[in-house]
Copies of this chain bind each other. A is one copy, B any other.
Amino acid sequence: MRNVPAKLAAKLYGAADLIADKGIADAKIEEIADASGVPIATLYYYFRGKEEILAFLLGDLLESIAGEVGAAMSKPGTAIDRLKWAVEAQMRVMLENPAACRALVGDLGRATRLPELATALESAFHQPLEQLLREGVEDGTLRAVQDPGKAALSVFGTITIAGLTGTVAQPEHAASYAQETVQAVCDLLLEGLRPRE
């Protein structure tokens, strides 16, 4: 994959909806070319094939999620605050790129099969979360869990499935859905299901 110019990258997002709807396997390269306005030959000049186009889009998306989440987490505040901000940030980026997100769920499998993307996923979600959980124990705002790694993974699953399901379900109401989901997810994760006396 050659270095992709910003202008080209922007055009490619025009095919995200298509890919999200049909999946990369069923989206014909010709359709991707039409939807994005990039000629087939140009696509093949930059990418090795269809898969790589998807990989580029997802990598780009994950990068921006990682960036936003990272920023949210490094603002000054307690760990619990920063956790909330991180969840909000993640949900916000998902909200801003619903199509790419849908493509991500849709081809999550492919994503995890591609080593670079797996790494990107890891650094976009798992690592920041795990670090945050550890910091929360230090500043006393979060409980010490036995296995921060698995807890981070669980939190990741919670946010991701909840967020993505919403994006998939109703792209139109995404905004309000995201807000409510942030609420529900934070509440569940922070307070747990067992009643507090």
Q: How many copies does the complex hold?
A: 2
Shortest Cβ distance from A39 into chain B, in angstroms? Answer: 24
Sort A-B residue pairs by CB-CB distance and give the 5 closest, nearest first: A157-B161, A192-B192, A106-B109, A150-B184, A25-B25
Size class of A's contact patch? Answer: 35 or more
Closest to A149 in B: B184
A168, B153: Cα distance in complex, Å? 13
Closest to A102 in B: B109
Residues from chain B with Cβ under 8 Å of A106 in the complex:
108-110, 112-113
A172 at the interface (CB under 8 A from B): no
Shortest Cβ distance from A151 into chain B, in angstroms? Answer: 5
A145 at the interface (CB under 8 A from B): yes
Closest to A197 in B: B196
Q: Are A142 and B107 in contact (CB under 8 A)?
A: no
A165 at the interface (CB under 8 A from B): yes
Could you jot down 12 A-B contacts, CB within 8 Å?
A105-B108, A106-B109, A145-B184, A153-B165, A154-B185, A154-B188, A155-B188, A156-B161, A157-B157, A189-B192, A190-B194, A192-B192
Q: Which of B146, B159, B161, B193 contacts A160 (CB 8 A)?
A: B161
Shortest Cβ distance from A140 into chain B, in angstroms? Answer: 7
In addition to A105-B112, A154-B185, 17 A-B residue pairs with Cβ atoms within 8 Å of each other are A25-B110, A80-B194, A83-B193, A106-B110, A109-B109, A145-B184, A145-B188, A145-B193, A146-B187, A147-B183, A150-B181, A151-B188, A154-B158, A156-B161, A157-B157, A157-B159, A157-B161
